[in-house]
């Protein structure tokens, strides 16, 4: 198959994208995925996660190579600043999910992108996690994502961003929450 300009747009292989969609339409079971992170405490507030494999498309899958991400706190929060904080990774996850959606949706709609930048800001009052004010929540109080897009018609670009938010896994979890079960084996 010759890959024409229509089949690869914004670096997205739209032929494969639509083929994936068709495959899932024909077999809903392959849409069930489980993602995983294995985290190990390093020292202090520094830890390291490994992403080796996941379940999806009907079976166990491996990443091409296991990915690693570390986390730490800056010195003002009693860390050594060896890596981003956990709360910064949350902002990254949100920006990256929305941006991936923008690229895919734009490609599917034959909208060309030349630039997608975003700044994500999360406001948090540490009186919550420090246990100093019961009226203050532990997490972010609000998050703002500011996108700057260049490419085709601005109205089309805005519509692509709106659709990305309407179909983003991370945006859904961050705005609506999800039940989290914690199990502990100690000894």
| Among 154, 155, 174, residue whose Cα is nearest residue 165 | 174
Q: How many amino acids of this chain bind its own copies (CB under 8 A)?
A: 131
Site for its own copies in 65-94 (CB under 8 A): 65, 67, 69, 71, 73-79, 81, 83-94
Judge contact between 97 and 127, C-beta under 8 A: no
Of the pair 3, 169, the CB lying nearest its own copies is at 169
Q: Would you count residue 139 as binding its own copies (CB under 8 A)? A: yes
**Smallest distance from the beta carbon of 141 to its own copies, in angstroms?**
7
Exactly one of 3, 60, 61, 110 binds its own copies (CB under 8 A); that residue is 61
Which of 1, 2, 5, 34 touches its own copies by CB under 8 A?
34
By CB under 8 A, the residues from 144 to 183 that bind its own copies are 144-150, 154-155, 157-158, 161, 165, 167-183
* 139/86 Cα distance (integer angstroms): 11
CB of 109 to its own copies, least distance (A): 13
99 in helix, strand or coil? helix
Of these, 33, 109, 112, 134, which contacts its own copies (CB under 8 A)? 33
Considering only CA atoms, which of 147, 91, 80 is closest in space to residue 123? 91
**Smallest Cα–Cα separation from 80: which of 109, 111, 42?**
42
- The minimum distance between CB 1 and its own copies, in angstroms, equals 16
Looking only at the bridges linking them, the beta strands covering 46-56 and 59-71 are antiparallel
The answer to whether residue 111 forms part of the interface with its own copies (CB under 8 A) is no
């Amino acid at each position: 198959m010759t890959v024409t300009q229509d089949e690869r747009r914004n670096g997205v292989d739209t032929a494969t994208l639509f083929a994936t969609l068709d495959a899932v339409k024909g077999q809903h079971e392959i849409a069930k995925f489980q993602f995983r992170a294995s985290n190990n405490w390093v020292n202090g507030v520094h830890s390291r996660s490994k992403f080796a494999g996941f379940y999806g498309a009907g079976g166990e899958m491996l990443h091409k190579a296991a990915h690693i991400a570390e986390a730490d706190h800056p010195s003002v929060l009693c860390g050594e600043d060896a890596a981003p904080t956990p709360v910064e990774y949350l902002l990254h996850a949100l920006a990256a999910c929305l941006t991936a959606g923008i690229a895919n949706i734009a490609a599917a709609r034959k909208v060309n992108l030349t630039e997608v930048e975003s700044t994500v800001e999360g406001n948090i009052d540490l009186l919550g996690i420090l246990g100093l004010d019961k009226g203050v929540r532990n997490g972010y109080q609000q998050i703002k994502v500011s996108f700057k897009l260049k490419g085709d018609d601005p109205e089309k670009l805005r519509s692509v961003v709106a659709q990305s938010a309407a179909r983003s896994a991370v945006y859904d979890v961050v705005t609506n929450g999800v039940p989290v079960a914690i199990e502990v084996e100690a000894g």
